[in-house]
Amino acid sequence: MPASIAGPIFKWLFGPSAGLLAVFVVFGRPRRTRIGPYAGSLVYFAALGFGFIAVELALLQNLTLLVGHPIFTLSLLLFGLLATGGIGSALSPRVPMRVACIAVAVIGAVEAIVLPRLVPLLLPLPLWGRIGIAILLIAPLGLGMGMPFPRGLRETGRGSLPPPPFYWRLNGIMSVLGSVTTVFVALMLGFQAAMLMGCACYVLAALASQRAFQKAEA
């Protein structure tokens, strides 16, 4: 990316978001509480916000190549993620956080490796066939990614953990940082690396959940 574009992005978007994140980390901790669960919750929700946007943007690129129109693909992707993510949210009380996170990481990693080789083979199919395949690719990821965030929110607001609005804001900040970082990683290493980066964030969230929500996961 040319320096003329990268400079303003870091100055006006990445930098302020990182500064706001630092303020959240320092002043968001409830007083006279243990640092361990609070730190674990920060890593958990930050990894979810970063990982979600990284996987989404990388998947958007692959599906754009498959479907053939960016705006149409974006609409399809957002609808698919919201619809299946809503179902995942409803099912989240039945699925442990670490299980949901690991499932997303595995499914995302498989799609990151397979899609670059699979998409060219699917291009001769009619549009309706490619749309159907795109939905099948979106559904399992959306279902999985819809589970960890609401499941974690149910355990916040008591003990060492701030109330849910704190984590909504943290998630938003990490989505901004994640989108900028994903673009740079994709330009330098490709969208496959960007999607694998998002999957690694879900592995990190799975590990952090054990420290932040030990009683909830017992």
Q: What is the pLDDT of residues 78-99, one digit of tens each?
A: 999 999 999 999 999 999 999 9
The pLDDT of 54-77, averaged and rounded, is 91
Write the CB contacts of 107 (distance below 8 Å, at least 6 apart in sequence): 140, 141, 144
Specify the pLDDT at position 136.
94
pLDDT class for 7, splitting at 50, 70, 90?
Answer: low
**Mean pLDDT score of the chain, rounded to an integer?**
86
The pLDDT of 12-29, averaged and rounded, is 69
Amino acid letter, residue 43: V
Q: What is the pLDDT of residues 103-133, one digit of tens each?
A: 999 999 999 999 999 999 999 999 999 999 9
Write the CB contacts of 52 (distance below 8 Å, at least 6 apart in sequence): 145, 175, 178, 198
Q: How far is CA 68 from the centre of its chain?
A: 24
How many whole angstroms separate alpha carbon 218 and alpha carbon 213? 9
Structural domains in the chain, sorted by start? 35-217 (1.20.1250)
Q: What is the pLDDT of residues 162-214, one digit of tens each?
A: 888 889 988 888 888 898 889 888 888 999 999 999 999 999 999 998 877 76
Structure tokens at 102: 């690991």
